[in-house]
Amino acid sequence: MPEGFPLADELAAVYARMSGLLLSEETVQTALGLVTALAKDTIPGTVGAGVTLIDERGHKTSAAASDSIVERADALQYELDEGPCLSAWAHRSLLRIDDMPGPRWPEWSTAVAPLFIRSTLSVPLLAGDIALGAVKVYSEQPNVFTDREERLLTQFAAQASIPLANMQSLEKAQQLSAGLKEALNSRQVIGQAMGVLMAPGGIDEAAAFAQLVDISQRQNKKLRDVAQDLVRSTVRRRR
């Protein structure tokens, strides 16, 4: 960051904490918790902060909140399918509310009135051409957030997007790997069970598989579990 940059002091420590996530084995949820805490500490006037990750269909996949008020305010956005966080993600643009309630998002504005939220600032989390979600901060006072806080949260979001995108990709790869491993294991045990059924002779692979499916449906059990039970009982009988 260039020397003399107006926000350098505020962001220097934040950047250091964020960079540490890239070198660790933190989960996405742990990272979201850190990003939320840093957002609350970094943006002046903030009484609460939250981060939401949203998939391409607009469904929330992960979220973190600094307190119960933010958690409830965000939950209302998901329930009503409207609000500044969702709009910041959908339109990939910063959204600031200086004083609530307002004409925009009328249902959400009315629903959060008991929470005494008066002003909000929401910024999308962008990783290249992908919108990961949004980070948002709340205040109990009107007109708290200015152009300076907008710049600060925008740069904060840009930095936070890097480790969050990397961790999200890593988790998806790990889940895919685990899914493939389970599929291969399932295929192996199902093949073994079919061999058990075919061993006495008289039926082919198709008939053996049909028998397994029939047992699975009658017992209301997964095909893999049925196959595993059959293989285990055969092994026990042979001992």
- Domain spans of the chain? 8-174, 180-238
Tally Cβ neighbours within 10 Å of residue 123.
Answer: 28
- Residue 14's pLDDT band (cuts 50, 70, 90): low
What superfamily would CATH give domain 8-174?
Answer: GAF domain (3.30.450.40)
Residue whose entry in the numeric block shows the structure tokens 């260039």: 2
The CATH fold assigned to 180-238 is Arc Repressor Mutant, subunit A (1.10.10)
**Please, which residues bridge with residue 130 across strands?**
127
Query: Over the stretch 139-158, which tens digit does the pLDDT of each residue have?
Result: 999 999 999 999 999 988 98
CA angle, residues 3, 8, 11, in degrees to nearest 5: 150
Query: Over the stretch 79-89, which tens digit does the pLDDT of each residue have?
Result: 999 999 999 99
Which residues are CB-contacts of 49 (< 8 A; sequence separation ≥ 6)? 36, 37, 39, 40, 43, 65, 66, 70, 135, 136, 137, 138
